[in-house]
Amino acid sequence: MTMDTKTAEILCKTTADFYRAQAASFSATRTAPWHGWVRCVDAMTKALGVMGRGVLSSAHAQFSEDEDVSHESSGFLKGAIDYLADEGIPSANSLVLSVFDLACGNLRFERYLEEALPDASLHIYAVDSCDELVAFADGLSAPVTYESSDIVGGLIDGSPLFRLHHAPQSDMAVSFGFLHHVPGEELRVRVLEGLIDAVRPEGCVAVSLWQFMNNPALAAKAEVTHAQAIKALGLAPGKLDEGDYLLGWKNVEGAWRYCHHFSDEEVGRLVAAVSNRAHVIDSFEADGRTGAMNRYVVLQKDVCA
């Protein structure tokens, strides 16, 4: 099924309104890195010619009781990079990495990246549509260029991703906690294509794909808030695609955001859609109490793409 434009626009506006209104409370729950980032950064740095290893420094997981347990702190994470000069790998003081972060939120991935690559010279281009959320970013020393852009709205209007930002081509492109807000499989494929466009040949792309319906507690909450939101927004249930839900937030009345649950089959279709331009270098599950709330896919752009 292909979602109609009007429905997609309603979902986009509802989600945008949610983030603007709830930026402070949302950012307060988004301070620690996700477990999956360690492995993503490790896979990408290795593919780029840097030997990496992720280090988990705390075994004491702490989880929020709200429905977003998959996105919460589960111990403080650190990463470390080992540089092997004798194998022709760049030395610590010569490594320069450019990073494009689509839907950067409060820039907590950037804070993690500085910890994971303490000796690298990072140049970061970050894009988001919620300036209110980005305003909570702090503690960064790496140079970050921020651009405000309504990515989902532009995609719905038919623009390719590369026309919705001005990031220079980078070594890495990441998008964490975003693709589940993009309505319709066609648009999600276009995002993945656009992330591949954003990196140089042999550059790397990493995305997270939320699988919240695999958690019985989250699934039960999703069914309740979805029914409430559909009625309040005047949406016919048949207008949404399979796996689409409207989730609530801390029992705040009218605070809903559109989220898509990714089935394993859909993950396979997304990867297949870009297989002529990039190949998978890692794919795994991580995060949340179960360690399986997010599916991560890490791609490397083909030389001729």
The closest of 32, 3, 21, 8 to 157, measured between CA atoms, is 8
Q: What would the pLDDT profile of 243-278 be if each residue is shown by its tens digit? A: 999 999 998 999 999 999 999 999 999 999 999 999
The answer to whether 189 and 273 are in contact (CB under 8 A) is yes
Q: What is the separation of C-alpha 263 from the centre of its chain, rounded to a whole number of angstroms?
A: 17
φ and ψ of 229, to 5 deg: -70, -40
User: Considering only CA atoms, which of 252, 107, 256 is closest in space to residue 177?
Assistant: 107
CATH architecture of the domain with residue range 5-301:
3-Layer(aba) Sandwich (3.40)
Segment 279-300 mean pLDDT: 95
Predicted confidence (pLDDT) at residue 9 exceeds the cutoff of 60: yes
Mean pLDDT of the chain: 86
Q: What is the pLDDT of residues 179-227, one digit of tens each?
A: 999 999 999 999 999 999 999 999 999 999 999 999 999 999 999 999 9
pLDDT for 40-78, tens place per residue? 999 999 999 875 434 333 332 333 333 343 333 333 233
* Per-residue confidence (pLDDT) for residue 39, from 0 to 100: 96
* CA distance to 131, 159, 179, 209, 265, per residue, from 296 (Å): 26, 26, 11, 6, 14
Q: What percent of the chain has pLDDT over 70?
A: 85
Strand pairing report for 121-128 and 96-102: parallel
Distance of CA 286 to the CA centre of its chain: 13
Domain ranges of the chain: 5-301
